[in-house]
């Protein structure tokens, strides 16, 4: 089963852009994930278990780096990118 995850990260630190960039780069290192980034959030697409495991690992790494960081996630079963990518390109 595929999944689409929309993630917003709010690091509670002055150097918040570095924390967000590091999180995105961690996800981009994973060849099994499809990543789309916009000004408000990061979307991750792929196999359900793989996406959630890799996002979990990236979140844990961020929390080790920056103990005060909030993640907001929306998880949709299915691959939203396939259904709507031509509308939002």
- Domain 2-84, second-level architecture: 2-Layer Sandwich (3.30)
**pLDDT per position as a tens digit, 12-52:** 999 999 999 999 999 999 999 999 999 999 999 999 999 99
Q: What angle do CA 31, 32, 34 make, to 5 degrees?
A: 90
* pLDDT of 89 above 80: no
Per the prediction, the chain carries an average pLDDT of 91
Determine the distance from the C-alpha atom of residue 12 to the mean position of all C-alpha atoms in its chain, rounded to a whole number. Answer: 18
78 C-beta neighbours (distance < 10 Å), count: 13
pTM (2 decimals)? 0.87
Q: What is the pLDDT of residue 86?
A: 53
Q: Residue 80 — pLDDT band, cuts 50, 70, 90? A: confident
Is 81 in contact with 2 (CB distance < 8 Å)? Answer: no
Dist. CA 50–CA 55, nearest whole Å? 8
- For the chain, which residues make up each domain, given as ranges? 2-84
């Amino acid at each position: 089963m595929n999944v689409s995850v929309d993630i917003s990260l709010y690091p509670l630190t002055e150097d918040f852009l570095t924390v967000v960039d590091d999180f995105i780069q961690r996800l981009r290192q994973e060849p099994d994930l499809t990543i789309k980034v916009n000004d408000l959030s990061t979307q991750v697409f792929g196999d359900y278990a793989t996406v959630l495991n890799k996002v979990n690992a990236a979140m844990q790494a961020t929390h080790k780096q920056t103990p005060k960081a909030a993640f907001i996630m929306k998880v949709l079963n299915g691959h939203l990118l396939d259904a709507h990518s031509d509308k939002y390109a």
